[in-house]
């Protein structure tokens, strides 16, 4: 079974739920029998490709350009790539779309006050106290997508529901086959 590659690009504030969603979505795609899947987590890529980069606008743009380059190579080889990266700048996400072409932008949205309350890693508090420069959403900008292909609201829907939403769009766009398990999923309550 050979299907077109695609990059599913999850963008959103820190701790909005991108990595969780990426892995859940990845598992669901694997359950459909698709093994040509790669998850590129922003932090992991930073370690491997961008250890030299900081968090200035320019460095963040370079970081995203590199992720886009790698995603493009994988996508054109028929791989489903899930990127989970804050990617705060519209310009660099647009560049990624233009480079990769088979590209689905997913805005993983969560209101700041919810994130501050959750604050899984304690970083929001630190940033709000002024002790974390270049922290996206607090001390660094985040430019919300204007026309994302999919919008997820992690404060209102379960990761499970979000993943299903993405799978449906991928299927509609022809990036996923309609397999038995998907049929089952659809007829499930």
- Report, as residue numbers or ranges, the catalytic residues: 87
Which residue's CB is nearer to a second copy, number 69 or number 173? 69
Cβ–Cβ contacts within 10 Å for residue 31, how many?
12
Q: Which residue shows structure tokens 């304690």?
A: 122
- Nearer CB in complex with a second copy: 44/120: 44
Residues found near a second copy in the complex (CB under 8 A): 36, 38, 48-49, 51-53, 62, 65-66, 69-70, 73-74, 77-79
CB-nearer residue toward a second copy: 97 or 165: 97
Cα separation values, 74 from 6, 83, 150, Å: 9, 12, 22
Q: Exposure of 36 by Cβ count < 10 A (0-12 exposed, 13-18 middle, 19+ buried)?
A: middle
* Beta strands at 6-11 and 37-41: parallel, antiparallel or unpaired: unpaired
Residue 58's alpha-carbon distances to 9, 54, 70, 79, 81, in angstroms, are 20, 9, 19, 29, 24
Q: 163: which residues sit within 8 A by CB, 6+ positions away?
A: 21, 24, 25, 28
For the chain, the farthest-separated pair of C-alpha atoms sits apart, in whole angstroms, at 53
Query: Please, which residue, 79 or 84, has the CB nearer to a second copy?
Result: 79
């Amino acid at each position: 079974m050979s299907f077109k590659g695609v990059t599913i690009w999850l963008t959103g504030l820190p701790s909005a739920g991108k990595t969780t969603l990426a892995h859940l979505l990845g598992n669901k795609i694997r359950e459909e029998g698709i093994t040509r899947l790669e998850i590129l987590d922003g932090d992991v890529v930073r370690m491997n490709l961008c250890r030299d980069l900081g968090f200035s606008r320019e460095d963040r743009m370079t970081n995203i350009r590199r992720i886009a380059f790698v995603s493009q190579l994988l996508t054109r080889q028929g791989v489903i790539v899930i990127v989970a990266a804050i990617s705060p700048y519209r310009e660099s996400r647009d560049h990624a779309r233009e480079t990769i072409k088979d590209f689905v932008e997913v805005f993983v949205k969560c209101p700041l006050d919810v994130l501050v309350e959750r604050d899984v890693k304690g970083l929001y508090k630190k940033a709000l106290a002024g002790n974390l420069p270049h922290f996206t959403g607090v001390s660094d900008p985040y430019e919300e997508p204007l026309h994302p292909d999919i919008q997820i609201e992690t404060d209102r829907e379960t990761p499970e529901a979000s993943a299903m939403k993405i799978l449906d769009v991928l299927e509609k766009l022809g990036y996923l086959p309609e397999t038995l398990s998907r049929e089952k999923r659809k007829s499930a309550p």
